[in-house]
Structure 1
């Protein structure tokens, strides 16, 4: 599959409807025309679709020169094009902008909305929606939330200062607080620290805990009962994939409506009425440019 250009790349095609063009490196030239190669490489995109894209001038090389059906491909070449989806399921929830200055855009993400284009999502992603809403072509997420998770997420839209903010997350200088609904754990004493070694599991999209030196740590506390469930405060000190979901399941209280943990449920369509009960409640850090304390809080509830 092709890769989408990042915000720093010099590309020969403009952002279109909030979507940056994708590209494909030709490490080993197939020694055939562009149309034959593209239809064989992208088996789910038909020849007529590629001919139409070429006719519109939307398949080009790194210099911006249009490629036609018989254009000769060569080793080391990069092909640029727009990724398109014939049908995309609308996500019926809206993001909210919490803060914007000359460097950052802070957003309250809804459940079910992916961060960036991939798989069956393109326009129905937070990044594309925000580019269309704000006109910020250089918008880039500094960190990620799972598609199933709602809450606060921070974007950069200024290339010159992006690295300073990214370093905060790399150095774990960011204070993240999550909330989750799960079953009560009356046998445990809170707050508690859960540490474990997490590795990729089976199937590939899940993580699992194994024996060995811990590489993940979360502080877990109770906030208040909510019906038969308990509202928990979760503070991850590391940033492993699905870390909070794995840790809560390991304690015997998987987060409500989690389709991955403790067991992966059969694949089905999104149940918009029953989102994962996990919310990125707040993010705080000392601004690397001004030294001022920053804290952003979600307006959503579980």
Structure 2
């Protein structure tokens, strides 16, 4: 169980957070601005350049090195052949860290960083739009749809929130301050300038952001407010995380509300029985935390392709999204010191209930 947090205590805590972290963050942010060199190759068409380090051992020819990296790229464009590699060199798009362009015959010493642009494979278009909820000179808050990854990774490169938004806005410095799972929808905070991104990213790293999620699952009555505590482990290369029994908890979530909802809007999921929306406040941020905790509670999230059963890669139906959405973000702005909050509706279409206070605390 979680004890209520009075509103006065919440306001005081926010002031303390601001005074404690804002100055340090601003100093670090300014130091980054002074010390971060210009990128040898700037982002282009929403994608950053790749940095590849020559392995230890013998020197290599730049042409052979880039040709090897391109030919062994797992998700490579079919037209990215030997001629395409040579065109990169001709265009001055293979460079050293200081921007010095290389030729195919350039000898590159071991442990030298080389920068170039990769060409990703064609991707299946995700038929959902990403919308902008709020924007000012520093940040942009978007509503990310399901099936769209946050950042380029593995087979999902161009069909990602960051690439779509960079292309839509023309801002190649747009960068997420945090990450949502590919299947999770909802609020995503982006920074608009390189020199301030660290300050906002540290808010999430230090758990100074109050987050609320809405999940749709089978109805189960809970004594509220409830607190879920588990030890979650995830092995590299494995899709699903696991719960480790009899281990010290490392994942904490408050369950703030359970409200029964009309099942008819969720007919594509073929639910059986009553449905509810669960308002969840994650305290920690382990991979798939809310998804595996909902499964552990006996109410797996509608449309989850991993829990309880991992579906084969590529076996997905865009008309059947996973019903988990980030519906509220609240924090003290690291630049101004002012409280800020952003809200949206989830799959239920219902507003955030009064018990949640809009920022994740209990009344």
| TM-score, reference length from structure 1 | 0.89
Q: 1:254 to 1:30 in 2, by over 3 A?
A: farther
Q: Which residue is equivalent to 2:56?
A: 28
Aligned pairs for 1:1-302 within 5 A: 10-42=38-70, 43-44=72-73, 46-186=81-221, 188-201=222-235, 204-210=238-244, 211-220=246-255, 221-227=257-263, 228-302=274-348
Aligned Cα RMSD in Å?
2.2
Q: Which residue is equivalent to 1:4?
A: none
Q: 1:61 to 1:284 in 2, by over 3 A?
A: same
**3-state SS, counterpart of residue 129 of structure 1:** helix
Q: Which residue is equivalent to 2:267?
A: none
Q: Deviations over 1:201-254 (max 9, x none)?
A: 486122111031101011123022332321111110111111000100011111
**3-state SS, counterpart of residue 169 of structure 1:** helix
Q: Deviations over 1:159-192 (max 9, x none)?
A: 4433332332222221111001111224x43332
Q: Deviations over 1:86-133 (max 9, x none)?
A: 412112111111111222111111111111112222222111121222
- Aligned counterparts of 2:104 and 2:334: Cα–Cα separation in 1: 50
- Aligned counterparts of 1:9 and 1:258: Cα–Cα separation in 2: 42
**3-state SS, counterpart of residue 85 of structure 2:** helix
**3-state SS, counterpart of residue 60 of structure 2:** coil
Q: Which residue is equivalent to 2:357?
A: none
- Aligned counterparts of 1:15 and 1:110: Cα–Cα separation in 2: 24
**1:146 positional shift:** 0.4
- Say which structure, 1 or 2, has more relative contact order (CA 8 Å, 6+ apart): 2
Q: Deviations over 1:3-26 (max 9, x none)?
A: xxxx95522223211222111122
Q: Deviations over 1:63-91 (max 9, x none)?
A: 32332322211123111111212412112
**1:271 positional shift:** 1.1
- Aligned counterparts of 2:195 and 2:220: Cα–Cα separation in 1: 47
CA contact (8 A) 1:30 1:37 kept: no
**3-state SS, counterpart of residue 285 of structure 1:** strand
> Which moves more between the two structures, 128-137 or 38-47?
38-47
Moved over 4 A (4+): none
Q: Deviations over 1:15-69 (max 9, x none)?
A: 2112221111224154332222233344246433322322333222223233232
CA contact (8 A) 2:131 2:143 kept: yes
- Aligned counterparts of 1:148 and 1:190: Cα–Cα separation in 2: 27
- Aligned counterparts of 1:215 and 1:160: Cα–Cα separation in 2: 32
CA contact (8 A) 1:23 1:79 kept: yes
CA contact (8 A) 2:59 2:108 kept: yes
Q: Deviations over 1:262-285 (max 9, x none)?
A: 221222343100011100011111
- Aligned counterparts of 1:116 and 1:52: Cα–Cα separation in 2: 27
Bigger-Rg structure (1/2): 2
Q: Which runs of 5+ in 1 are unaligned?
A: 1-6
Greater fraction helix: 2
CA contact (8 A) 1:110 1:151 kept: yes
Greater fraction strand: 1
| TM-score, reference length from structure 2 | 0.75
> Which moves more between the two structures, 107-116 or 62-71?
62-71
